[in-house]
Structure 1
Amino acid sequence: MKQDIVQTIHLQVERIEQLFNSLDPTPFVGRDLDPQAEDFITGWAEELPHKGAFRIKVTVAECPQLEPARTRLQQAVKSYYLSRVEAQRLQLRQLFRNGRWSLLIGVSFLIACHLLSSYLELQFAADSLLGVLAHGLVIAGWVAMWRPIQIFLYDWWPLQRKRKLYQRLAGASVAVEVFHNMHQ
């Protein structure tokens, strides 16, 4: 699939203002998208191919000034999704910080368990109960490595994927068109 392919996300609303969170007191540009609009746009984008650009096409029943509305909406979408990119970046950074600490703790605990297990095996080789305990310590040490392994192998993927999606949405072009007979 080529990078120059543009995927279109279609929305239909009565008025442009419906796309924004009515509880957000800030001016139109920079306002949060309405949670349902954001869910719709993001959900649709997640279903599209993972390459190429997005175009958000909004069909409205009424819009007295089409070009200013399109410009404001373009800026608002860009601002909103860039803030989401930054939030994902910070969340990913925090996850890796937690992963490094978990790895340090896990490796330290694994080494301690392995050393104690080796000591028990050398000192009490004939005692089967302590032999079981020695093997249990090695298993416990590896279990302690579960969280850092999970972070570095699996947990970061969804955050990175979402960050890239938000970057693509922040760069989306926005088109607004009036359709007078939306309900017919």
Structure 2
Amino acid sequence: MMAREKVDEITLHLNSIHELFTVPQPDPFVENVHFMPAIEIIKSKCELPGFLKHTRTRVTIFLPAPHIEPNLEQKTHEAIHRYCTFQIWQTNNSVAILKQDALRALIIGILFLAGGLFLLNNVNVLPAFLSTFLSDGFNVAFWVILWRPVDFFLFDLSAFWREGRVYKQIMRAEFVIRPEEQQREHAGITIPGVS
């Protein structure tokens, strides 16, 4: 017997399909108010631990019936694809720039340490205290310079990779659009603050 494919459900209640990417002037007195574009809500849901382990994601969007037009699901999927493609490109571009800066800082740090050690080992006229002081100072300065590349390769890089995976997951998601009056017929997880 084959196991059923698990589907992660995200349910959104929007006043217009354009609220996927933009938000009208938010009014907290309105019951169905939105404070951020719906795509950010989808992204935050996909960032939850364990969410990417599942095979499929389905986003069900409930709209007022007059706002539903022919081929809206296809148009929405194409718009999501364009948006995520740009976000992935932007993420990759940021990684390339930061990697270049980190490598430059790494090279400067190594040259700084090598130059400092060379000078200290070849100057014998300095008192022991001053020699130790300068040696320790060079070590501290080296690690300060080295902190940026270490921080980038150990922490920042994984965060950028995770963000890229989230956008790819959104691109693969199934988008279903339903009239608002049908919301009781379709079960799903409603994002807090959305409905």
TM-score (norm 1): 0.78
Q: Per-residue displacement from partner, 1:3-25 (whole Å, max 9, x unpaired)?
A: x53322211113323334379xx
Does residue 70 of structure 1 match 2:83? no
User: How many residue pairs get matched?
Assistant: 168
* C-alpha separation in 2, matches of 1:17 and 1:125: 71
Q: 2:149 corresponds to which residue?
A: 148
Change (3 A) 1:72 1:63: farther
Question: 1:157-176, CA deviations, whole angstroms, 9 ceiling, x for partnerless residues?
Answer: 11111011111111211111
Contact 2:23–2:36, Cα closer than 8 Å, also in 1: no
Match of 2:115 among 71, 89, 112: 112
Contact persistence 1:116–1:134 (CA under 8 A):
no
Q: Which amino acid aligns with 2:120?
A: S
Structure 2 unaligned residues grouped into runs of 5+: 25-34, 184-195
Query: Separation in 2 of the partners of 1:146 and 1:64?
Result: 52
Counterpart residue type for residue 171 of structure 1: R
Counterparts of 1:22 and 1:149, CA distance in 2: 38
State the structure with bigger RCO (CA 8 A, min sep 6), 1 or 2.
Answer: 2
For 1:6 and 1:116, how far apart are their aligned partners in 2? 63
**In structure 2, distance between residues paired with 1:7 and 1:13:** 19
Conserved in 1, the CA contact under 8 Å of 2:13 and 2:180? Answer: no
What does 1:1-184 align with in structure 2 at a 5 Å threshold? 5-21=6-22, 35-47=36-48, 49-52=51-54, 53-63=56-66, 65=68, 67-120=70-123, 123-124=124-125, 126-180=127-181
Distance of 1:14 and 1:77 partners within structure 2: 18
Deviation sequence 1:23-71 (CA, Å, 0-9, x none): 9xxxxxxxxxx95212211112212523233221111221465551111
Q: Which runs of 5+ in 1 are unaligned?
A: 24-33
Cα pair 1:66 1:176 within 8 Å, conserved? no
- Please state whether the residue corresponding to 2:181 is helix, strand or coil: coil
Aligned residues with identical type, % of pairs: 21
Per-residue displacement from partner, 1:100-145 (whole Å, max 9, x unpaired)? 111111111121122223234xx04753233322232233223321
Letter in 2 for 1:60: L
Helix, strand or coil for the counterpart of 2:53?
coil
